[in-house]
Amino acid sequence: MTGEDDKTGQDKRYVRPYGDATGDGMVQLSFTLPIPHGPRADGAAQQLANKMGMDPALVVHSHPIGKDFSFYVVYGSVSHIVDLDAVRVVEREYPLLTPAEINATVKKSLRRKLVVVGGCIGTDAHTVGIDAILNIKGFAGEKGLEYYRELRVVNLGAQVGVPDLVKRARAEKADAVLVSQVVTQRDAHVQNTQEMSAAFREAMGEARPMLVVGGPRFDPLMADELGVDRVFGRGTTPGEVASYLVHAISTRTVTKPTTRVTTKKTRSSTTKAGAAR
Ligand code: B12
């Protein structure tokens, strides 16, 4: 093992999970088996855990799900080691701005309101996520995009068809289209997003609006594969999205994310979202 040691003698580059003691490799895992609850299912759960590299593995919780299924939680030690230098994630390359800073940037760079059109596409009716970003009440203590004086938000809600989204984005002269996909069965989120980005490319070419997609099971590394400019995952806050939009608009290019280890969130000033607009 190489890497810089910290004060406790622990290597900073290579890590193992922590349970009772540093580096003991303890993890907890839950899953469902398609077999009736009982000793045989318990044994199957243990075998699965062993085959996944947990040794020893302890079944710490189980209960029946109907008569044909069983739910399991197993706890045990894995020998795997994570190399932090090999971790690939999207690093935020823009500063987190306050609402006042965002409004000022839009005013200066566009001299008009920045238009955002958003919604859930396909059959997806999970609007809580997109509402968390767009609605004035916001999410995690931050106001949503509707709160920003220099943003004009059109929230189309649930189950928006791609042709309708393209039509409306064009009619509203959208600078950015924000799409949410929460249902991921059979990779519906991937297919729907690719269909959406292809439709915008076909209808508007280079003049298309910025395309931003979000949802709990998206990996921010997927932007190219999805044909969009940016991907936001679980826990995204409205301020992160607004900051990205003004960054992309004011630089006049849609910046591709770099893939490096994430940095901590920083605000460019101490003013919180919700303060002076
Ligand atoms: C509430 C809920 C519902 C509500 C939705 C109400 C509504 N108006 O949204 C109702 C009851 C209608 C519902 C229905 C169904 N649901 Co449901 N539902 C949920 C639940 C419990 C919570 C989702 C939620 O609101 N999260 C809170 C929000 C704030 O989080 P979020 O969506 O991740 O959004 C954040 C980020 O992802 C991101 N984000 C999201 N979108 C966007 C977009 C942009 C542009 C950006 C920048 C960021 C961004 O920012 C948000 C804030 O951080 C989840 C389980 C769970 N615990 O997550 C299941 C869940 C999503 N549902 C599920 C299922 C299967 C269904 C149904 C198919 C059930 C059925 N058989 O009928 C239907 C489908 C209906 C449909 N046509 O879409 C599954 C999906 C499984 C899968 N692999 O796809 C889940 C995971 C439950 C489960 N474990 O099985 N559901």
The per-residue pLDDT for 1 is 42
The per-residue pLDDT for 75 is 97
Task: Tell the residue nearest (CA) to atom 46 of ligand 1.
Answer: 214
Q: Tell me how far the alpha carbon of residue 218 lies from the centroid of ligand 1, in angstroms.
A: 13
Structural domains counted in the chain: 2
The domain that contains 61 carries what CATH number? 3.30.30.60
- Are residues 179 and 207 both part of a single domain? yes
Burial class from Cβ neighbours inside 10 Å (0-12, 13-18, 19+) for residue 9 reads: exposed
Tokens of 272: 């919180």
- Are residues 108 and 209 both part of a single domain? yes
> Which residue among 86, 116, 138 closes a domain?
86
- Are residues 27 and 127 both part of a single domain? no
Sheet containing 210-214, strands listed edge to edge, beginning at the edge strand earlier in sequence: 151-155, 114-120, 176-180, 210-214, 230-232
CB of 211 sitting under 6 A from ligand 1: no
The per-residue pLDDT for 250 is 78
Global pTM value: 0.84
Q: Tell me how far the alpha carbon of residue 72 lies from the centroid of ligand 1, in angstroms.
A: 23
**Residue 93 is assigned to a structural domain of this protein:** no
- Are residues 38 and 108 both part of a single domain? no
Active-site residue list: 137
Mean pLDDT per segment of 10 residues, for the chain of length 277 residues? 47 89 96 97 97 96 97 97 93 95 95 97 97 97 98 98 98 98 95 98 95 96 96 97 94 50 38 39
The per-residue pLDDT for 252 is 59
**Residue 124 is assigned to a structural domain of this protein:** yes
Contact 177, 209 (CB under 8 A): yes
Pairing of strands 114-120, 176-180: parallel
Residue numbers of the domain that contains 50: 14-86
C-alpha span between 81 and 271 (Å, rounded): 40
- Are residues 74 and 108 both part of a single domain? no
